[in-house]
Amino acid sequence: MIRAWNNENQFHRRRFRLGVYFMLPTVLILLIVLAYPILASLVLSSQKIIIASDGIRGTFLGFDNYTRLLGNELFQQALFRSIYFTLVEVVCVVSLGLLVALLLDTPSGRHAFFRVVLLVPWALAPVANAVLWKWIYNANYGVLNWIVVGLGFVERNVVWLGRPWLALNMILVADIWKSVPFIALLLLAGLQNIPNYLYRAAKLDGANTWQTFVHVTLPGLKTPLVISCVLQSIWALKVFDLIYVLTKGSPADSTVLLNYLAWRETFSNLDIGYGAAIADVLFLLMFLLALAYIRALRPRKRSANRG
Amino acid sequence: MTSYAFRRRLSRNFTRFCLAVFVCICLGPVLWAIVTSFLPLSAMTSTPPDLNPLNATLENYVEVFDTSRGLLSGLINSLIIALFTSAIALTLGAMAAYALARLNMPGSTPLLLVILATQMFPAIVIVIPLFLVMSRIDLIDKHIGLIVVYLSFVLPIVIWILKGFFEGIPLELERAAAVDGASPLQVFRHVILPISLPPLFATGVFAFIESWNEFFFAIILTRIHVKTAPIAIAEFSGQYQTLYGQMLASAVLASLPVVVLAIIFRKFILEGFVEGAVKA
Amino acid sequence: MAEVTLTNVTKRFGSVLACDDINLHVDDGQFISMLGPSGCGKSTLLNVIAGLEEATSGEIKIGDRVVNNLGPFERDVAMVFQNYALYPHMTVAENIGFSLRLRKRPAQEIQKRVMDVARMLELNQLLDRLPRELSGGQQQRVAIGRAVIREPSIFLFDEPFSNLDAGLRIRMRSEVKELHQRLGVTSIFVTHDQEEALSISDCIAVMRAGRIEQTDTPENVYSRPASKYVARFIGSPQMDIFSGEFERQDGRLLYRIGEALFEVPPLINQPEAPVDIGVRPEHVLIGEKGAPAEVHIVQPIGPFTYVTAKWEGGEATSRVTGIAHLKPKEQVYIQFDPVGLHVFDRTTEKRVNLFSLTA
């Protein structure tokens, strides 16, 4: 770096120096607001923190918090539920997103109106989304019960958010509804990147719709699909607003996912060190997923052009 | 009609049907919320819901502005925070994105990975230490505190998007400007920025929306004075009692700005997706 | 004043050697082309001269200043890029006047000078247009105008006409030539089109794989190519090169290729090593005598017809004036005009001056 700062060539030297100045504020902020907390979190997770009247005190525990959480049944269930949640959400969101993308790629679907329609769920605040679905899921007055009972699928009002697995899956539905637009738009963009002549060639070769889909569309969508899966799984692990507004973890902690658990341990139960440990486990999970994302991106990098 | 034309007609009608279903599913819940937000409590809670348009009322909306509920201050706080966050993020982010894209910063790859990684972990990891520090230096429940913290996740996105765009600007343009006598800063100001107005705008809108909608940091790092709109909405949904009418009204009000923004700037945002897919 | 001297200039990108020990001198006011195929390093060399790339080693002098450490503007060079590189958000007038605006010249001066340049390049009707509203040729003229207004010591051109269609390209060539005659500024022109280089340059530097093979006038590069590579690269259709050996018959010196014997001009030097013979189409004669050959391809291009024939030594292309009444598979005889024979050392591939006429 020193060499670049003192580069002989004026053109390069000047540009490099500007680059350093330009990066400085960002690096500073990110160091303070990201780097420091991440490291501090690791430190905190090795301690038992007590908030006393005269400040914050920590007792060193080593890995105790971690061993505690690994053995803790609530944590294990939350972990299991988070994985379930993530898997189901990714499968549903990506397949539905693909369907919507395909739908919007047809001649009838190309109208800008449909894309705007997609933007509405996307732009909503997660909290607003939660509120929306809370109303729909309401046991007594929610429209879901109205429809379902009215059509005769069930006899009585269902307490959607009152039964353990049911509540978790209803939250899943709410998050899927909100997440599909982004993925659909991403896949739509990927679809439009597939050159037309491939489709024409397939048609000339006599491929029917399904074969065209399998041999032209899907391969062309490989990268966006992978990215969608990885992104969506990372976001699925982050779910919080829905739980907070809809169930707050009930019934019987059956809708407690990892992220929510970490928050509750830290800010409700005030077991800061333990909460930090849970957060770090979650971080590890996501970090591995992020690595997968980067590996998925890597092969497409083009080398610089010269000559 | 030949069989082929018939099948075409069938498939087109099927497509249209699917599109209709799609629109219903997408907009249904939202429209339902809007409609019921204009109903008085009695109409909402009757089974089936009494949808008589004559019942339409603004009472939910009026009650929502009762100051003890804080929606108005919530909206104002959200506006301040989202505005400043996106403005700062755009400025610093454009600079950093250009530096990474074009100014030969070594170590740009690890930096990039870091930026990418920041998108992908939960706020919970950093909020705990931040909370502790901010309590100590009295930044809790202050606008500036939340703005700085928001930068932690908005700045990386801005940089990521803009970097991709800046890399797409032909290098020859910058070389021509250098040959013409422009310093790198002048190149940035006179050549790069003017060409980049649309993506800059779009990214700014995107940053605004992300800041406005944020809940997690807000609920931890604010108390009373800086309560944002999402928090105000959530407060209508209490542990024991939920005022559905007002909850819905507040949700509609707080969502209106961002949805409207998204629709107005849809061209830019949608292009951003296209760029993203290509860049990836 | 504005001469350019490169001494032992080398440019590496990591492990790739783009320019290898380049030595070049351009006289003040000279128009020199750097000619070569893609990837030979000519554009890189141009960027090094401009100051947009740093030379890995070697010295670059403009005038009597060593400019290695200077940026492009400080070197007082102006450049015309292959893709025009016009500022898309600025009008034609603003594009041309940009450099003056940066130097904070007064508005009146800028306006006047822009008008002068625009008039010279016939752009005065287009001053308010944006680049995307212009045709390729117009855009390129704006790019030239942007360079001209700088009144630099050196003009650099990086394959400026590659993106234009054929007819436009030829017109632009003469415009650039005319500009050079009018302004007399030292110009370095990079191109891969040998016809282009031949038609507009005072001097050509033929490059290959990072090295300069020959620096000479267009006439010399054509009629006295310094190596097989230059000989083949310059001239279209390509020169044909054949392998054979000298033979004495009846006191005369002949060159034998297979069964055929060819006349050669008188020697001025003794051949020390095996050599190959090269001959251009205009010196390949098809007639009743000579080596037997079979017509392969006949290509009429208007004033000439190029006839490619297969014979024992390989393939030979002959330029016949007018229409050649020949058909594929016809049996003919070919001869080489001794005046047009070029000699190359078989191993080093370099030119050898053996004959008195073409030496």
**CATH of range C4-226; options 3.40.50.1980, 1.10.8.50, 1.10.238.10, 3.40.50.300:** 3.40.50.300
Domain boundaries, chain C: 4-226, 240-345
Check A9 against C38: CB less than 8 A apart: no
Is C18–A8 a contact, with Cβ atoms under 8 angstroms apart?
no
Do the domain assignments include residue A236? Answer: yes
Sign of dihedral through CA atoms C310, C313, C314, C317? negative
Among C44, C54, C68, C77, the strongest candidate for a mutation testing the A interface, having the largest count of A CBs within 10 A, is: C54
Domain that holds residue A290: 65-299
Among C50, C87, C103, beta carbon nearest to B181: C103
- Quote the pLDDT of residue C99: 93
* Pick among C13, C44, C52, C150 to test the B interface (most B CBs inside 10 A): C52
pLDDT, position A179:
93
User: Whose structure tokens read 């369907």?
Assistant: A99
The pLDDT tens digits of the residues spanning B201-236 come to 888 998 999 899 999 899 888 888 888 888 888 887
Same domain, A226 and A293: yes
Q: Which pLDDT score, from 0 to 100, does residue C280 have?
A: 94
A135/B92 touch (CB, cutoff 8 Å), yes or no: no
pLDDT score recorded for residue A305 = 38
Number of helices (H) and strands (E) in chain A: give both, helices first: 16, 2
Neighbors of chain B by Cβ distance (3+ pairs < 8 Å): A, C
Q: In this structure, what token pair is assigned to residue B221?
A: 């790092």
ipTM: 0.83
Spell out which residues of chain A touch residue C52, defining contact as CB-CB under 8 Å.
Answer: 11
Please report whether residue A56 resides in a domain: no
What are the pLDDT digits (tens) for A24-39?
998 898 888 888 888 8
Determine, yes or no, domain membership for A52: no
Candidate from A107, A136, A262 with C-beta closest to B32 = A136
Residue range C240-345 forms a domain whose CATH class is mainly beta
8 Å CB contact of A125 and B212: yes
Note the pLDDT of residue B48. 65
Please tell me the distance in Å from B130's CA to the nearest CA on chain A. 6
State the Cα–Cα distance between residues B215 and B219, nearest whole angstrom: 6
CB-CB under 8 Å, B184 with A116: no
Q: Which residue of B has its CA nearest to A227?
A: B280
Taking contacts as CB-CB distances below 8 angstroms, the residues of chain C near B179 are: 50, 52, 72-73, 77-79
pLDDT of residue B146 exceeding 70? yes
| Mean pLDDT, range B135-139, rounded to an integer | 82
Residue A306: its pLDDT value, please? 36
In a domain, A94, yes or no: yes
Q: From the list B219, B229, B277, which residue is nearest A189 (CB)?
A: B277
- B contact residues 61-90, partner A, Cβ 8 Å cutoff: none
Residues 21-80 of C with CB under 8 A from B: 50, 52, 71-73, 77-79
Chain A residues in contact with C53 by the CB 8 A cut-off are: 9
Q: Taking CB atoms and an 8 Å limit, are B175 and C78 in contact across chains?
A: no
pTM of the full predicted structure? 0.83
pLDDT of C78-108, one tens digit each?
999 988 899 999 999 999 999 999 999 999 9
**Which pLDDT score is estimated for B1?**
55
Of A12, A56, A126, the CB nearest to B104: A12
Based on the fold, state whether residues A138 and A256 are members of the same structural domain: yes
Would A278 be classed as within a structural domain? yes
The reply to whether omega before C237 is within 30° of 0 (cis) is yes
Task: Flag if B92 and A26 touch (Cβ within 8 Å).
Answer: yes
**Cα angle at A146 between A141 and A147, to 5 degrees?**
150
As for how many domains chain A has, the answer is 2
- C-chain residues near B178 (CB < 8 A): 52, 71-73
Q: Is some CB atom of chain C closer than 8 A to the CB atom of A11?
A: yes
Domains observed in chain B: 3-61 (no CATH), 68-279 (1.10.3720.10)
Minimum CA–CA partner of B197 in chain C: C89
Taking Cα atoms as reference points, which of B231, B230, B213 lies closest to residue B150? B213
Contacts of C89 in chain B (CB under 8 A): 194-195
Residues of chain C neighbouring B177 (CB-CB closer than 8 A): 87, 98
Question: Which residues make Cβ contacts (< 8 Å) with residue C255, sequence separation at least 6?
Answer: C244, C245, C246, C247, C261, C262, C263, C264, C277, C341
User: Are residues A85 and A10 part of one domain?
Assistant: no
Res. B32: pLDDT tops 70: yes
For residue C88, give how far its alpha carbon lies from the nearest alpha carbon of chain A (Å): 22
For residue C89, give the nearest of B179, B182, B195 by CB distance.
B195
φ, ψ dihedrals at C238, nearest 5° = -60, 150
Q: What is the structure's pLDDT at A85?
A: 93
- Classify residue A245: in a domain, yes or no: yes
Nearest C-alpha neighbor of B152 from the set B173, B175, B176, B125: B125
Q: Please tell me whether residues A14 and A146 are part of one structural domain.
A: no
Distance, CA of B148 to CA of C18 (rounded, Å):
47
In terms of CA atoms, which chain B residue is nearest residue A183?
A: B273
Range A106-114 contact pairs with CB under 8 angstroms and sequence separation of 24 or more: A106/B15, A107/B12, A108/B12, A108/B15, A108/B16, A108/B19, A109/B15, A109/B19, A112/B266, A114/B19, A114/B22, A114/B23
Q: Tell whether the model's pLDDT for residue B264 goes beyond 90.
A: no
Residues on chain B touching A138 (C-beta within 8 angstroms): 244
Q: Please give the Cα distance from B230 to A126 (Å, whole number).
A: 8
Residue A234 belongs to a domain with what CATH number?
Answer: 1.10.3720.10
What are the residue ranges in chain C where pLDDT is below 50? 359
Q: Which residue positions in chain A have pLDDT lower than 70?
A: 1-4, 49-58, 293-294, 296-307
Q: Residue A304: inside a domain, yes or no?
A: no
In a domain, A50, yes or no: no
Nearest CA in chain C to A6: C69
Which chain B residues contact residue A121 at CB under 8 A? 26, 30
CB contact under 8 A, B104 and A266: no
Asked if B188 lies within 8 A of A18 by C-beta distance, the reply is yes
Test the B interface: residue of C87, C103, C130, C156 with most B CBs within 10 Å: C87
Cβ separation B152–A133 shorter than 8 A: no
**Each residue of B38-89: pLDDT tens digit?**
888 777 777 666 667 776 777 778 777 776 667 888 889 999 999 999 999 9
